[in-house]
Structure 1
Amino acid sequence: MGYTFTLRTIYPYLGTLWQAAGLTLALSLLAIVISIVLGAGIAILRRSHSRLLRFIGAAYVEVMRNTPLLVILYIVYFAGPSIGIRLSSFNAALIGLSLNSAGYMAEILRAGLIAVAPGQFEAAHAQGLTALQTFRYVVFPQVFRTIYAPLGNQVIAVILASSLASAIAVDEVASWMETVGSTSFRFFETFVVAAIVYLVLCQAVNLGRLGIGRMLFRQGAVAR
């Protein structure tokens, strides 16, 4: 007999699926917030007048963008205890995902800063604006418009990358998929369900990005 696709055996596990999806979303959103803060600091280092600070910022970006996230997670979770740092699987995943994403965030934010012409700062200073006012009213609106689309793409990338947290025992969607598949022996069905969950999460972010973009940038189209 041929293989019969059925979701009936998956129904009893749907309750834990929503918990896993919630954990995936929480992990991803926290990692995004932390990586934006870290990325902003690194982007500033990369724009510094100090050659040493520029080197430190560039080195961080290159290391994080050229090291697999799985390796970073293993280092944080498994190597940490050897130097006295013991973290829960969730916290280790959050730190590893944030550190990795910060490397990409730094380049996104740096591109936004580069897009602001130096004359903008001079004009703001000539108008008597303080440094904080210059950033709020002159720099940030231009930077945000430039980074809006790639920032949304990075949010989606982090959601997808969070699936690797299952390797260090975080009970998110990929972990649910592995557990339910091995328990029910309906691997194909669990793979399809997990793929649908990730698709829904990512499309929700994308639709939200487009909707918010249309409200914020009514005079210009938001790049897809």
Structure 2
Amino acid sequence: MNSYNFSLRAIVPYLGDLKIAVVGTITMSLATIVVSLVLGLFFAILRQSRSRPLRFLATSYVEFFRNTPLLVVLYFAYFMMPVVGLRMSPFQSGLVGMSLHFGAYMTEILRAGLIAVPHGQYEAGHSQAMTNMQILRHVVLPQVFRTIYAPLGNQLINVILGSSLTSAIAVNEIASWMQTAGSDTFRYFETFLVAAIVYAVLCQTINIARIYAGRALFPDNR
């Protein structure tokens, strides 16, 4: 029985492509984080609305996308959007699918933060003749961030890991590099190992940044 000879030499020529793939993963993840945060804040506010139709709309969005696999959402964005006349590149389709999916989770994270802010804070803002937007920006959101920065950091890691599924719709990122390099060299173990290390480095970078941000912004939480 032949033993397996571990060697990274065969995938060295593909390391240049790996750099491009890492940039693709980071770009997709950052864009998704920004868009999903905007969606999350919008629907979190709607879920706190006094209007029943608005609450129903926000709740329907959250429940639908939280109970639909990300891969299904990505396939829908990639294959079905052109059917209705919306032609998008693989990156754009991936961004739409990722943002809709993770926006639902961001909604619940932000909603939890909004609920944690005492109602008296809103009343105090109104007593100072502040508008609703001013109250949200200067009074509510700083307190919301204090509550959610830990779960938000975990969600950012989920976004990076979730971006690997965009390889299924031809987005050039780490998982797609792994599949290409592995099939070309037949060194699947080595390529999988390298991809896993890169993902671990990216995720740990987010985790360390979250920890230090928490210590810097909230020193009393140490």
TM-score grouping bracket, smaller chain normalisation: over 0.9
Quote the Cα distance in structure 2 between the aligned partners of 1:162 and 1:59: 24
- Determine the structure 1 residue equivalent to 2:196: 195
Shifted more, 208-217 versus 161-170: the winner is 208-217
TM-score by length of 2: 0.96
Runs of 4+ in structure 1 off by over 4 angstroms are none
Matched, 1:106 2:107: yes
Paired residue for 2:50? 49
Deviation at 1:17, TM superposition (A): 0.3
Q: Shift in Å at residue 138 of structure 1?
A: 2.0
Question: For residues 58 and 131 of structure 1, what CA distance do their matches in structure 2 show?
Answer: 22
Q: How do 1:68-87 residues align onto structure 2 when only pairs under 5 Å count? A: 68-87=69-88
Give the equivalent residue in structure 1 for 2:208: 207
Deviations 1:13-56 (A, max 9, x none): 10110110011000000000000001111111111111111111
Q: For 1:132 and 1:46, locate their aligned partners in 2 and report how far apart those are by CA, in whole Å.
A: 17
Distance 2:193 2:147 in 1: 36
**SS where residue 219 of structure 1 aligns?**
helix
| Aligned-residue offset at 1:164 | 0.3
Question: CA RMSD of the aligned region, Å?
Answer: 1.1
Q: Percent identity?
A: 60
Structure 2 gap ranges (5+): none
User: How far apart in 2 are the matches of 1:58 and 1:128?
Assistant: 31
TM-score by length of 1: 0.96
Matching residue of 2:171: 170
Q: CA separation in 1, counterparts of 2:123 and 2:80? A: 48
Tell me if 1:123 matches 2:124: yes
